[in-house]
């Protein structure tokens, strides 16, 4: 079975698909000894000899990891200011993984990492319908009217920001905690929604991505995803497991 060359590069752990396209266009990739610049090129992983800068490549075993990102860690491989990244929390030879989406530096909680390009695209893209759940602590009391505005949606600059669900967990005059479920993942969406409503976010933690739950995973620690979790993440939108349909 043939695959696109950029997918082969991502599965060999050298780049994401988008980064792989840049490598191809730059003429750094050869297939069977010939430089290939055409993005639609397909290769057979079993027979094609693919090299990057003259170095032969082979697809790596696929990994799917859940990590509890602490605050102040970046979701990037390297930082020009030598700040800590989530890859500092993983085994040294796992630098070929990349994050499925991101959390900003001040946010914490569940981050998924993989070297499977298809898994990354399916989970990250809003059309796949995977919901993301956040726990948010804000200064001041959060009331029913604010929750209604979060689920009704509001505008911030050119973006329409909206929570699919919002519920209050605790509240007093100095701080409140709420749970938000989002269907999309616009840049800093949760923080922007609360700022538009006049609330200062004190803590933002992602606790679930689709069927994958943060659970009791300690900050800075990781675990492999189960086969069931991986399959559930890749399941087409609206399709439920056979066992669930019987129940």
Q: Minimal CA–CA distance to 220: which of 33, 127, 84, 42?
A: 84
Percent of the chain with pLDDT over 70: 96
Q: Could you read off the pLDDT of 170-199 as tens digits, one per residue?
A: 999 999 999 999 998 788 999 999 999 999
Residues 8-46: tens digit of each pLDDT: 887 787 877 788 999 999 999 999 999 999 998 999 988
Is 104 designated active site? yes
What ranges make up the beta strands (E) of 70-164? 98-100, 108-114, 132-139, 154-156, 159-161
pLDDT at res. 237:
66
Q: Where are the domains of the chain?
A: 3-56, 64-127+211-234, 131-209
Query: Catalytic one among 88, 93, 104, 106?
Result: 104
Give dist(CA 168, CA 158) in Å, integer. Answer: 28
Q: What is the mean pLDDT of the chain?
A: 90
Q: Which two tokens stand for residue 99?
A: 């994050």
- Confidence bin at 244 (pLDDT 50/70/90): very low
pLDDT per position as a tens digit, 80-129 = 788 899 999 999 888 778 899 899 999 999 999 998 878 888 888 877 77
CA distance 38 to 155: 41
Reported as a single tens digit per residue, the pLDDT across 199-226 is: 999 999 999 999 999 999 999 999 999 9
Residue 55 predicted with pLDDT over 90: yes
Half-sphere exposure of residue 76, counting CA atoms within 13 Å on the CB side?
11
Determine the CATH number of domain 131-209: 3.30.70.1560
**CATH T-level assignment (fold) for domain 64-127+211-234:** Alpha-Beta Plaits (3.30.70)
Mean pLDDT of 147-174: 94
- Summarize the chain as % helix, strand, coil (round to 5): 25, 30, 45
pTM of the model: 0.79
pLDDT the model gives residue 247:
45
The DSSP line for 167-201 is EEEEE-SSEEEEEEEES---TTHHHHHHHHTT--E
The correct CATH number of 3-56 out of 3.40.50.880, 3.40.630.30, 3.40.50.300, 3.10.290.10 is 3.10.290.10
Ranges assigned E (strand) in the chain: 3-4, 29-31, 34-35, 42-43, 50-52, 55-56, 64-69, 98-100, 108-114, 132-139, 154-156, 159-161, 165-171, 175-182, 201-209, 212-213, 222-224
**215 close to 208: Cβ distance less than 8 angstroms:** no
* Same fold: 64-127+211-234 with 131-209: yes
């Amino acid at each position: 079975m043939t695959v696109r060359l950029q997918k082969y590069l991502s599965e060999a752990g050298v780049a994401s698909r988008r980064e792989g396209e840049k490598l191809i266009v730059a003429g750094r990739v050869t297939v069977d000894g010939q430089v290939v610049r055409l993005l639609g090129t397909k290769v057979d992983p079993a027979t094609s000899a693919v090299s990057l800068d003259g170095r032969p490549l082979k697809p790596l075993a696929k990994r799917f990891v859940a990590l509890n990102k602490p605050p102040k860690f970046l979701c990037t491989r390297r930082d020009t200011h030598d700040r800590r990244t989530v890859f500092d929390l993983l085994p040294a030879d796992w630098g070929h993984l990349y994050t499925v989406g991101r959390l900003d530096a001040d946010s914490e909680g569940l981050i998924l990492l993989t070297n499977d390009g298809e898994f990354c695209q399916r989970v990250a893209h809003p059309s796949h319908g995977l919901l993301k759940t956040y726990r948010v602590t804000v200064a001041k009391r959060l009331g029913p009217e604010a929750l209604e505005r979060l689920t009704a949606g509001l505008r911030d600059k050119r973006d329409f920001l909206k929570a699919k669900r919002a519920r209050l967990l605790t509240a007093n005059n100095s701080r409140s905690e709420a749970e938000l479920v989002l269907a999309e993942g616009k840049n800093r969406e949760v923080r922007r929604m609360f700022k538009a409503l006049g609330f200062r976010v004190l803590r933002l933690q992602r606790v679930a991505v689709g069927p994958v739950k943060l659970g009791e995973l300690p900050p800075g620690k990781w675990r492999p995803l189960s086969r069931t979790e991986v399959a559930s993440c890749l399941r087409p939108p609206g399709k439920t497991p056979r066992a669930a349909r019987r129940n």
